[in-house]
Amino acid sequence: MSLLSVENLAIHFGGIKAVDQVSFAVEAGEVFTIIGPNGAGKTTIFNLISRIYDPTEGRLIFDGVDFTTMPAHRIAGLGIARTFQNIELFEHATVLQNLLVGRQPHARVNLLSEILFLPSVRRAEIAHREKVEEIIDLLDLQAYREQMIANLPYGVRKVVEMARALCTEPKLLLLDEPSSGLNVEETQDMSYWIEDIKRRLGVTVLMVEHDMGLVSSVSDRVLALNYGRVLAQGSPEEVQRNPDVIKAYLGGEE
Amino acid sequence: MNGIAVGCIYGLIALGFVLIYKATEMVNFAQGDLMMLGAFVAYTLISGLGLPYWLGLAGAVIIMAVFGYLLDAVLLRPVIGQPQFAIVMLTIGLGFILRAAAGFIWGHDPLSFETPFTGKVVNAGGVVIATENLAIIFGTVLLCAILYAFFRFTRLGVAMQASSQNQLAAYYMGIPVKRIFSMIWALSAGVAAVAGILLAPKFLIDPNMGFLGIKAFAAAVLGGFGSIPGALLGGLVIGVIEQIAGVYGPPGSHETAAYLALLLVLVLKPGGIFAQIGRKKV
Amino acid sequence: MRFVFKTSYEQDINLFRHGGDRFWYGLLLLALAAAPLLLDTFYLGELSFILIYAIAATGLMLLVGYTGLVSLGHAAFLGIGAYANAYFISQGMPFLVSFPLAGLITAAAGLLIGVPTLRMSGIYLAIATLAFAYIVEQVFIRWESVTGGFRGLPVDAPDIFGYQLWERWEFYYLCLVVLVAVILGVANLLRSPTGRAFVAIRDSEISAQSMGINLARYKAMAFALSAFITGLAGALYGHHISYLAPDAFDIRLSIILLLMVVVGGVGSLHGAVYGAIFAGALPQVIAILRDYLPPAISQTPGLEPALFGVILVFFILFEPFGIYGRWLKIKLYFQMFPLYKKATFKRQKSYLKTERLR
């Protein structure tokens, strides 16, 4: 059984079919990439999976659970975490605080014991901290622990956002354009990290990406999208050779 | 009739909010106080300097427009881009200062000035209407027609519309967006002055009359906070509801009707009647 | 500059980062405890007033500074707490019961306005709370059987197990105990998952949601908690002024509460206290200044609000981080001397920060 299956997903904004009858399945342990020109509906699919948008049609199934109508805040508990194209970190908090928010799906909240800060809360905090430190070590963020997000360079913020998503201990990680805004060297690092996440943490990755170098170096399978419809699906090489895909990118006589 | 007239005033103040909000995404909590200031300036020109009513009106509008322009250029331009909370607090602070300044200059006793409409009535087919109400309604309609023509047919008006819809695009098209914003403040202050002058014969003018502006919020929200006709319509609705509640409701409902209506609209349709604010895009 | 060498995670969790912190806070508490020995009754009363303000400012800070929800109607909560407490006491309830009960009732009122407004953001919420405050003020005026309407409602001195706190210094200690408890509770909350959820909502609702935070639940919680704390402050406020009238809780008080948050420094508990000291001491300073000013200015009734307005505008234009932000800058200046650079605290401006969908 696939980890995530998307069946006949569609969403219409007014008259525009932003996503139209898209189906695909992500298998456990792979890196699955969605490519396509701007406005093809890639981020919209992410927003549908994280339940920010309600689909007009179709079903979403994760690990055997139909989550098509689940509220957005329960998706993280299901085991799906995500990053955002333009980085949505908690700007006026430290890196450590940001990562600890990632522990939210695993936090048992009891207002009164928190106000009194009972020993149980303290123990839980330390357990969360240990988990967070594992991720910090994995992604080499030690130097930035106490820094405010607002003072960090863009490249580091991207990594912090990925780390925050990993702190939720997801089974599936959604990365929305992990290389956008990064320089060549940082993009190279990003591809190592994605490999690490897949190998060492065993997390399945679904990403949207433009940089074809990164796509072909890390992806197991690729899905090409245009105008909200699936153009092609297969290994990176197959999809890159597909005439429809080439036409969509280079523009052709239609 | 009374309700409609008062509603027109609410509508005019709300229109001032909306003009500024649409363009700059700032909410001016001092709009009511601008109205108050406009009324006082007119009082000084007409009763103090003895100018004829129409000349005094024009003078007050021009003075207030210049004041609005300077206000934006000096105080508000530095906070563009800061969180909305900062801007709200800034305009609230401004309201306090304006109120105190008016109290300092004109005193805290209510004043009134003679207008051509004070205390007269018109008998229209058996219905007796106070001229001051007629003047308010007529003035509002006239002002709206002028504003409509301004936005539709003048270069400046079109530039203002463009800047409201997309600051960046307007900027790239060579429109001096910052200066346009100040002009919008000028326009809004001018409209507020007209509202204050029209209101003057109905209520006495005193430094605290700006609190009326809060009811105008209700009007603006009712109209969706982004639409000029909506603001006027919202003003009328609030004015009439208030009047009806005052006559038929239990004691205290005259004061609270506007706010209850506001809360009701916000709860049922959080985006106002014509939803403008959507979810942030990611 | 002090470098703290961390050897365990506990050090990041503890309220006091190092021994120095513990020493200075201890000294402050000692000074506050000794205040009744040093100050006369009038100034002790003023100090109690500042403590009450600080409780209310802490409540508002939780909502505005940490959860990012603006309330222009917090005076209503202060009023509800004051009236509820005074009414229960007039019905013969002991203070130790009526006081927390007043807080709970205010929390319920907080939910009443908080829950329907959950879906609103920014400016709509601000306006809704403003409208709520006006309606509550009318209720204070009209519900005469409970509030006494314009005639007002006298408030008895609080009693603890039958012992009435008539003396100023007794009441002062009561306020001090409540303030310390409230600050500790809020500080604890802020280092727990709930507090982090609040901050997450403040900085990015969309990603808070994708991290598993139930926006509706936490926003409602923030409203209720903030109202609860403000209600407690209100109950004490009622005892302090000893006679409740509806116009004591109008929009001006809401703005003064917000002023404390802004002037003290948005997003810090220190800021709430600094703001309270500022707002509490300002009228005294004005009263002293009046003697030296020409009568034309000093006799103007609008002097106080005008000064509040000027200060508010001044802080937003020149020191958006408030007194606490200024204090941090000064501290850093001396720690880093001579390497301090102004840009450390420079904020990025976003010219197109927008709430609209385009």
Q: pLDDT for B128-138, tens place per residue?
A: 667 777 777 77
Q: Residue with structure tokens 């917000």? A: C258
Count A/B contacts: CB-CB distance under 8 Å: 8
Residues 6+ positions from C12 with CB-CB distance below 8 Å? A96, A129, C6
Region C325-332: what's the mean pLDDT? 76
Q: Is A83 on the interface with B (CB under 8 A)?
A: no
Burial of C111 (0-12, 13-18, 19+ CB in 10 A): middle
Task: Give alpha helix (H) positions in A28-118.
Answer: 42-49, 75-78, 95-101, 111-116
CA pair distance C143, C171, nearest whole angstrom: 29
Q: Between helices B228-248 and B212-222, what is the axis angle to 10°? A: 120
In the prediction, which pLDDT does A99 show?
93
CA dihedral sign, ordered C240, C246, C251, C252: negative
**ipTM summary value:** 0.89
In chain C, whose CA is at the least distance from the CA of B84? C122
In chain B, whose CA is at the least distance from the CA of A84? B282
Task: Give alpha helix (H) positions in A61-110.
Answer: 75-78, 95-101
Residue C180's pLDDT band, with cuts at 50, 70 and 90, is very high
Instruction: Tell me the residue ranges of DSSP E strands in chain B.
Output: 121-124, 127-130
Whether A181 has a pLDDT exceeding 60, the answer reads yes
Residues of C in contact with A110 (CB under 8 A): none
Q: Which residue from A185, A186, A190 is spatially nearest to A175, judged by alpha carbons?
A: A190
CA distances from C214 to A82, C6, C334 (A): 16, 34, 43
In the prediction, which pLDDT does A66 show?
92
In the prediction, which pLDDT does B228 show?
77
Asked, for residue B274, whether it belongs to a domain, the answer is no
State the smallest CA–CA distance between residue C74 and chain B in angstroms: 14
In the prediction, which pLDDT does B116 show?
66
Among the residue ranges A231-235, B62-66, B267-271, C173-177, the one predicted with the least confidence is B267-271
Region C43-55: what's the mean pLDDT? 91
In the prediction, which pLDDT does B118 show?
62
The CA-CA-CA angle for residues B216, B221, B226, to 5°, reads 105
Task: Give the containing element (helix H, strand E) for C243.
Answer: strand C243-244
**CB contact (8 A) between residue A101 and residue C215:** no
**CB contact (8 A) between residue B99 and residue C262:** no
Asked, for residue B221, whether it belongs to a domain, the answer is no
Q: Which residue has the higher pLDDT, A161 or B123?
A: A161
Count A/C contacts: CB-CB distance under 8 Å: 111
Q: Which residues in chain C (204-233) have CB-CB distances under 8 A to chain B?
A: 205-206
Per-residue tokens: C14: 């503890």
Task: Give the containing element (helix H, strand E) for A223.
Answer: strand A221-226
CA pair distance B78, C131, nearest whole angstrom: 29
Residue C346's pLDDT band, with cuts at 50, 70 and 90, is low
In chain A, whose CA is at the least distance from the CA of B279? A52
Task: Give the containing element (helix H, strand E) for C11.
Answer: helix C10-13
Per-residue tokens: C291: 């003697």
Residue-range definition of the domain harbouring residue B122:
2-210
Q: Which residues, listed in sequence order, are joined to residue C164 by a DSSP beta bridge?
A: C159
Tally Cβ neighbours within 10 Å of residue B111: 15
Asked, for residue B271, whether it belongs to a domain, the answer is no
In the prediction, which pLDDT does B41 show?
87
State the smallest CA–CA distance between residue B274 and chain A in angstroms: 16
In chain B, whose CA is at the least distance from the CA of A176? B282
Asked, for residue B233, whether it belongs to a domain, the answer is no
Q: Is A43 on the interface with B (CB under 8 A)?
A: yes
In the prediction, which pLDDT does B279 show?
42
In the prediction, which pLDDT does A106 show?
87
Task: Give the containing element (helix H, strand E) for B22.
Answer: helix B2-24
Q: Which domains does chain A have, with CATH numbers?
A: 1-79+170-254 (3.40.50.300), 91-164 (no CATH)
Q: Which domains does chain C have, with CATH numbers?
A: 32-344 (1.10.3470)
Residues of C in contact with B238 (CB under 8 A): none
State the smallest CA–CA distance between residue B282 and chain A in angstroms: 7
Residues 6+ positions from B195 with CB-CB distance below 8 Å? B9, B12, B13, B16, B35, B38
- Per-residue pLDDT 10s for chain B (282 aa) are 677 888 888 888 888 888 888 777 778 888 888 888 888 888 888 877 777 878 888 888 888 888 988 888 888 877 766 777 788 888 888 888 888 888 878 877 777 776 666 666 666 666 666 777 777 777 788 888 888 888 778 888 888 777 777 777 777 787 787 888 888 888 888 888 888 888 777 777 777 777 777 788 888 887 777 777 788 888 888 888 888 887 777 777 777 888 888 888 777 765 555 444 444 444
Q: Which residues in chain B (251-280) have CB-CB distances under 8 A to chain A?
A: 279
CA pair distance B262, C128, nearest whole angstrom: 7
Q: Which residues, listed in sequence order, are joined to residue B183 by a DSSP beta bridge?
A: none
Whether C278 has a pLDDT exceeding 70, the answer reads yes
Helix/strand/coil percentages in chain C, nearest 5: 75, 0, 25
Q: What is the CB-side half-sphere exposure of residue B60 using CA atoms within 13 A?
A: 32
Whether C349 has a pLDDT exceeding 50, the answer reads no
In chain B, whose CA is at the least distance from the CA of A82? B282
Residue A121 in 3-state DSSP?
helix
Number of domains in chain B: 1
A-contacting chains (≥3 CB pairs under 8 Å): B, C
Region A123-148: what's the mean pLDDT? 90
Q: Which residue has the higher pLDDT, B121 or C144?
A: C144
Q: Which residues in chain A (86-145) have CB-CB distances under 8 A to chain B?
A: 86, 88
Region C132-144: what's the mean pLDDT? 88
Asked, for residue B36, whether it belongs to a domain, the answer is yes
Of residues C188, C191, C200, nearest to A90 (C-beta): C200
Residue C1's pLDDT band, with cuts at 50, 70 and 90, is low
Q: What is the CB-side half-sphere exposure of residue A172 using CA atoms within 13 A?
A: 26
A192-207 residue pLDDT tens: 999 989 998 899 999 9
CA pair distance A210, A176, nearest whole angstrom: 10
In the prediction, which pLDDT does C295 show?
66
In the prediction, which pLDDT does C354 show?
40
CA distances from B219 to B85, B239, C318, C319 (A): 21, 9, 33, 34
In the prediction, which pLDDT does B159 show?
81
Residue A25 in 3-state DSSP?
strand
In the prediction, which pLDDT does B275 show?
45
Residues of B in contact with A84 (CB under 8 A): 282
Tally Cβ neighbours within 10 Å of residue A240: 18
CA pair distance C142, C147, nearest whole angstrom: 8
Asked, for residue B74, whether it belongs to a domain, the answer is yes
In chain B, whose CA is at the least distance from the CA of A83? B282
CA pair distance B118, B97, nearest whole angstrom: 31
Q: Which residue from A176, A203, A178 is spatially nearest to A188, judged by alpha carbons?
A: A178
The CA-to-CA distance between both ends of chain C, in Å, stands at 48
CA distances from B92 to B29, B85, B211, C239, C303 (A): 5, 11, 11, 30, 16
Asked, for residue B35, whether it belongs to a domain, the answer is yes
Region A152-178: what's the mean pLDDT? 92
Average pLDDT over chain C, rounded to whole?
A: 83
Asked, for residue B264, whether it belongs to a domain, the answer is no
A58-90 residue pLDDT tens: 999 999 899 999 999 999 999 999 999 888 898
Q: Is B282 on the interface with A (CB under 8 A)?
A: yes
Of residues C141, C266, C316, nearest to B79 (C-beta): C316
Whether C357 has a pLDDT exceeding 60, the answer reads no
- Cβ contact C46:C100 at 8 Å: no
Residue C350's pLDDT band, with cuts at 50, 70 and 90, is very low
Of residues C206, C300, C357, nearest to B103 (C-beta): C300
Residues of A in contact with C10 (CB under 8 A): 122, 126
In chain A, pLDDT over 70 holds for what percent of residues?
98
Residue C317's pLDDT band, with cuts at 50, 70 and 90, is confident
In chain C, whose CA is at the least distance from the CA of B261? C131
Residue A253's pLDDT band, with cuts at 50, 70 and 90, is very low
